[in-house]
């Protein structure tokens, strides 16, 4: 596995763990804190944007 692949796998894992932890926490305590939800949305947006960018670049540079 190359370094780039590890980076992608790590990003996916972090995103999934974050979603699971925060979703579980909110379910358990039954909170809908707008700051928490906003922060989660922002974090996920950034992570997904980075993830898409890291997946997209190699496909653009390589011609199949």
pLDDT digits (tens, 9 = 90+) for 21-42: 877 877 776 666 677 777 877 8
Both tokens of 49, joined, read 């944007």
DSSP 11-46: HHHHHHHHHHHHHHHHHHHT---HHHHHHHHHHHHH
Predicted pLDDT at 63 = 54
Supply the angle between the helices 3-29 and 34-61 in degrees, to the nearest 10: 160
- Which pLDDT score is estimated for 64? 52
Q: What is the pTM of this model?
A: 0.43
Side-chain-side CA neighbours of residue 53 (13 Å):
7
Distance CA 46, CA 58 (A): 19
Which one is predicted more confidently, 27 or 62? Answer: 27
pLDDT surpassing 70 at residue 58: no
């Amino acid at each position: 596995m190359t370094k780039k692949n590890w980076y992608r796998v790590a990003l996916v894992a972090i995103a999934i763990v974050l979603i699971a932890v925060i979703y579980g926490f909110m379910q358990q305590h039954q909170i809908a804190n707008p700051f928490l939800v906003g922060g989660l949305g922002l974090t996920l947006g950034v992570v997904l944007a980075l993830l898409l960018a890291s997946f997209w670049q190699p496909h653009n540079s390589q011609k199949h």
